Amino acid sequence: MARGADPEDTDLFAPRRVSTLQTAVAELSWLLGRGYAESSALALVGNRHRLRKRQRDAVRRSACPDASVIDRHARRLDTAALSGRSVVIDGFNCLITLEAALAGAPLFRGRDGVVRDIASVHGSWRRVETTAAALAGIAEWQRETGLVAATWLLDRPVANSGRLAALIEQHEHAAALHWTTELPFDPDALLMATQDVVATADGTVLDHCTTWTDLVGPVLARVAPHAWIVDLGG
């Protein structure tokens, strides 16, 4: 089992499509910045450009109003600012993106500079061939940044979240890196409330958390330097 590319992705996200997708992201961002509901705004933009579902998913995850871009950047901590701090990791959000990238699926850099996937657990997570490499990459990232501890938040309603929690805690570097796991019903609420640094690509969380950092980008640079990343931020 893998989280690789869809058979149509080579065409849907071919270089000749990027300009249209970037325009769609810009248009959706403009509408969101003026109070339009995401669902109706995405339908308007998607229909205008005749986008397929996976293209619409990529556009939706890449869009961000100007005000949110500025605000997110103001609260983002770069690698040099992480030493001695603790991080709270949006577990499925970060891990699945890395699993997908390592399996050859396309990722998308949005207007806020964050890389996202269009994969989904569909209510159930399964360990895949790239899971171990993704966890090892996160461990190395934490070691290099000097973060003193990491708390992984995993959505309790997702099937097999307990198995992933056990896998994380049993990882060969878990004890040395002070990894712990929690299984809340609503991880987003905790991510938005914590005073620790948050690692996520979830737009709603990024708009409300105290401080955040990019986990996926630096890890990809180490474990998958040739990952398929489509820049839709323009």
Q: Please give the Cα distance from 165 to 151 (Å, whole number).
A: 11
Q: 143 to each of 32, 33, 85, 213, how far by Cα in Å?
A: 38, 38, 12, 15
Low-confidence stretches of the chain (pLDDT beneath 70): 1-2, 120-122
Same domain flag for 76 and 44: no
Structural domain count, the chain: 2
Structure tokens at 118: 């269009």
- CATH code for the domain of 208: 3.40.50
Same domain flag for 14 and 40: yes
Rg (CA), the chain: 17
Indicate the SS3 state at residue 10.
helix
Same domain flag for 22 and 137: no
Same domain flag for 92 and 12: no
* pLDDT in the model for residue 124: 83
Q: How many CB atoms lie within 10 A of CB 140?
A: 16
Same domain flag for 82 and 29: no
Residue ranges making up the domain that contains 188: 69-231
Same domain flag for 104 and 54: no
Structure tokens at 151: 């708390």
105: which residues sit within 8 A by CB, 6+ positions away?
A: 3, 4, 5, 6, 9, 117, 118, 119, 228
149: which residues sit within 8 A by CB, 6+ positions away?
A: 86, 87, 177, 178, 179, 180
pLDDT digits (tens, 9 = 90+) for 163-179: 999 999 999 899 999 99
Same domain flag for 93 and 208: yes
Same domain flag for 87 and 194: yes
Look at residue 188 and tell me if it is in a domain. Answer: yes
Same domain flag for 81 and 54: no
Look at residue 1 and tell me if it is in a domain. Answer: no
* pLDDT in the model for residue 2: 57
pTM: 0.95
Q: Please give the Cα distance from 156 to 63 (Å, whole number).
A: 28
* pLDDT in the model for residue 121: 64
60: which residues sit within 8 A by CB, 6+ positions away?
A: 28, 38, 42
Find the helix or strand (DSSP H, E) in which 44 lies.
helix 38-48
What share of the chain in percent tops pLDDT 90? 93
DSSP state of 76: B
